[in-house]
A and B are shown apart, each in its own frame.
Chain A
Amino acid sequence: QVQLQESGPGLVKPSETLSLTCTVSGGSISSYYWSWIRQPAGKGLEWIGRIYTSGSTNYNPSLKSRVTMSVDTSKNQFSLKLSSVTAADTAVYYCARDRTIFGNYGMDVWGQGTTVTVSS
């Protein structure tokens, strides 16, 4: 079965760029949308955006100016970059397979999440 694993630095300095990668195993990354979601400690889920394997993206309007997503089909990976981070970007970051657009199946596979702290 498909599994997702987030990876990247757990500590990022303020004003720098947060970079995370999600590796897809047990299946192909192709022909799906892939989303990033985050959750500050003790708070709710926030959808960050999604990318299709063609590179087409949709972003949360509140983060759009700072977010860049990319996909590397040869490595079965997709990535998130969030620039100019502040303490408010401290959260657990999840990646998920997003079948909401094609087929209305929802975000049906999630990674375990990775904690990113923004601090000097």
Chain B
Amino acid sequence: SYELTQPPSVSVSPGQTARITCSGDALPKKYAYWYQQKSGQAPVLVIYEDSKRPSGIPERFSGSSSGTMATLTISGAQVEDEADYYCYSTDSSGNHRGVFGGGTKLTVL
């Protein structure tokens, strides 16, 4: 079955740049999406179509994708950005089956 691989944790100090990666064999052909999930809350979409930001998401959130790796970048991370981040994409089966990465815990302190 198709898998997306993320690092379990990333840690930065406030104001630094946080980068979270997501690797998957189908990413050259399929878009990546990123979701932020704070403790006890439902996930929130922060990046769609590899690099686009939904309305209301701060500009410090950006996304990119190259080859088999997608990256979520938080420029000038703030304490309130501490959360779990999940990448999501679909497989190349033609049925658009969805798959989430294992999630990355971002610590900002």
Q: Which of B19-27, B64-72, B75-83, B99-107 contacts A (4 or more CB under 8 A)?
A: B99-107
Q: Is the CB of B96 within 8 A of A101?
A: yes
CB proximity of B5 to chain A, nearest CB, Å: 12
Of A7-15, A20-28, A54-62, A72-80, the stretch lying at the interface with chain B is: A54-62
- Cα distance A101–B44 when bound, in Å? 18
Contacts of A106 in B (CB 8 A): 33, 45, 48-49, 54, 88
Q: Which residue of the partner chain B has the closest CB to A46?
A: B100
A34 at the interface (CB under 8 A from B): no
The winner among A45, A101, A112 for most chain B CB atoms within 10 A is A45
Q: Is the CB of B49 within 8 A of A104?
A: yes
Q: Which residues of A contact B45 (CB under 8 A)?
A: 106-108
Q: Which of A47, A111, A112 contacts B98 (CB 8 A)?
A: A47
Binding site for B on A (CB under 8 A): 35, 37, 44-47, 50, 58-62, 94, 100-101, 104-108, 110-113
Please provide the 6 A-B residue pairs with the shortest distance between their CB atoms, ordered closest to farther: A47-B98, A106-B48, A106-B33, A44-B103, A110-B42, A45-B100
